[in-house]
Amino acid sequence: MISKRFLFPALLALMLLALPLILVGLATILVYPTLPSLEALTDYRPKIPLRVYSAEGAVIGEFGEERRRLVKINAVPAIMKQAILAAEDERFYQHGGVDYMGVIRAAVSNFTAGGARQGASTITMQVARNFFLSREKTVTRKFNEMLLAFKIERNLSKDQILELYFNQIYLGQRAYGFAAASQVYFGKPLDQINLAEAAMLAGLPKAPSSYNPVANPKRAKLRQLYVLRRMHELRYISDSQWAAAQNAPIPVKRGNQEFGNSEYLAEMVRQVVYPLYQDKTYTHGIKVFTTIRLQDQLAAYRAVRRGMLDYDRRHGYRGPEAFVDLSQGGSDEQLEDALQDINDNDDLIPAVVVSASPKQIEAYCRGGERVDIRGDALTFARRALSDKVPLKQRLRRGSIIRLQKDAKNAWQITQLPQVEAAFVSGDPRTGAIYSLVGGFDFNRSQFNHITQAWRQPGSSFKPFIYSAALEKGFTPATLIEDAPLKFEADETGSEPWEPKNFDNKYDGPMRMRQALTKSKNLVSIRIIQKITPQYAQDYITKFGFEVDKHPAYLTMALGAGMVTPLQMLSGYSIFANGGFRITPYFIDHIEDSHGNVLQKNASPAIAGETAEQVIDVRNAYTMTSMLQDVVKHGTAIRAMQLGRNDLAGKTGTTSDSVDAWFCGFQPTVVGIAWMGFDQPRSLGDNETGGGAALPIWIDYMGKVLKDVPEAIYPLPENMVETTINEQGQPDSNGTRKEYFYQENLPASATPVESAISTLKNLLF
């Protein structure tokens, strides 16, 4: 029998022990009913950004505070689920919201470690915190978090909770949810990631900024190894999988690779959409489907970069991009810190020179790779290894440089170009834009050279003057003098002018076709003298050019006005499509988050309407024929390397080679290439449209026309094909063919020849 003497102390001790439980119970009874409704979970409506899609339906742009890609739990790869459970909550499917075993394990671990090293928040508790609570570390917040976890577990299934977690959790780089993070970090959908990538993603929830593979690759790697070890301990992966994943390379995507290199076009879309939907633009999941074709966009992007880098190499190495002091050492951590604020630029990788000599350079790349550069790979930058160059241009220990792999996968020294370039292409029949590259790098400069850069077109503008001349009775066979001219200020609108041909040579009388093929400046000036600058100024508005940008002076003949590449696309499309005015467009349609079409954009051709015919089909045919000769025999002959006979176009080089152009087409696609400096200056004495811009056009067309059959331009009605002699006169013994409007057929051509030509047209 227990003595009364000991009973009271025992009861008192029991009451003291029970009091916390009673208080917790009372608090639970009082607090539980006041917990927030779970409507935010059961009717989950996250902020979904504006997304821009290619014609094929691939995401090429995204705008919003939160990057999200919602994914159903049954679509999440098993390896991703296992990585998350191993990293965050291995008993998720066993506990009821709070893992008591986990709490005990964490408490023991923290006690033995002498501080808080391990948490005990379950996935359910993290969902409660992310949706309803702050991240403050207080007992009250933790208590509410646990109660909410119980409530969530009572109302939702485990898979529903896990799905919410997968889509809501913040993972750095503005990415919310693992599907978005997979795209942001690796440039691939979640269902395509491998074990090593899954483990790296699973390491992010603990501290996205600390374990971010973009910002902190080394810490990210350490966290990934921890996740892989936990997966192995839990028997999610085998010994061989564990070993392979630890050493698997993880190419993290940076910069404009994420959205198919379409930032300039995506920004154009945003500027169109925001006025329509205001702030809803960035949160309501609006989807914009563009006319951009992925193959074309990639071809254009690579062509522009290659063209700019080739130009840059022709003009020599300028020296290191920056310099970092390594006098206090040069550990990997210091080298990594030195590169921390240097942005990647696609395949132009930043590196720090660790050692340099005339025969070899050793460089450290972000992430730990060390590169040796020697032999021919040093050729481009060899001068910078000399003691004779200024210190700021010299390659030495601590220099920040750019590296790039060549066609043989060998590293070479390169540099970010100072020059700019742009390219745009589209369908001349509908106006749909297929590709648009507004500059070298959107992250470096958001200035869109396709729509914002007003530049002189030079000789690429001549076809519009020649087209005007055809309407004034000129023919491709008309003889025009190629000889020097001199003008006073009142004729030019500025100052006395003594124009010259590019090569400073004059060939005397020549046919108009020859003059365009050879891009003879003096012939173009004589043409505009004859038709008058006022007539030419009015005529070019048919092609979409603005009167105030092209003063009615003789200099208009040489492209002294101002145009944008987008205007040139529209203008050259008229030649390519037989004389019809089209308006280039890049948005096909807009949908809401449920797939309902909000707006549909279409050209007249797609809508079944008739586009406005602004020039005679015969004019378009004649100009196309002459522009084909520019490619076959003239300043653009380099394009014949594509092995096609249906290409037409015109080079353009302005005074002092400030701007270089090539504008060309095939019946299914028009492409406009431009190169120049933002602060206008010469590209160099030997830089022309044919040497600087045409290679970009060729590079693009070679890709997109690879499987396109060669086209034939049919001769329009009321045109005559006849043979002519060297003087441009119809001659049955002539060796050249020429095309004339029926009413402009020279008088010396006999009726028999005309009848034969007409019969040929009818038969063929």
Residues annotated as catalytic (active site), given as ranges: 88, 459
Q: Quote the tokens at residue 492.
A: 């030019």
β-partners of residue 413 are 403
Q: How far apart are alpha carbons 366 and 575 in whole angstroms?
A: 50
Phi, psi of 98 (to 5 degrees): -125, 125
**Residue 363 near residue 371, CB atoms below 8 Å:** yes
**Residue 220 near residue 171, CB atoms below 8 Å:** no
Identify the CA nearest to 557 among candidates 515, 513, 512, 527. 527
β-partners of residue 563 are 455
Sequence-distant contacts of 727-731: CB under 8 A, at least 24 apart:
727/479, 728/475, 728/477, 728/478, 728/479, 728/511, 729/477
43 contact partners, CB below 8 Å, separation of at least 6: none
Task: State the alpha helices, DSSP H only, in 501-615.
Answer: 512-517, 521-531, 533-539, 565-576
**Residue 268 near residue 586, CB atoms below 8 Å:** yes
Q: How far apart are alpha carbons 633 and 613 in whole angstroms?
A: 30
**Residue 399 near residue 352, CB atoms below 8 Å:** yes
Phi, psi of 528 (to 5 degrees): -70, -25
State the number of CA atoms in the 13 A half-sphere of 454 facing the CB: 8
Listed in order, strand segments (DSSP E) in 258-384 are 287-290, 322-323, 349-357, 360-365, 370-374
Q: How far apart are alpha carbons 448 and 444 in whole angstroms?
A: 11
DSSP helix, strand, coil percent of the chain (3-state; round to 5): 45, 15, 40
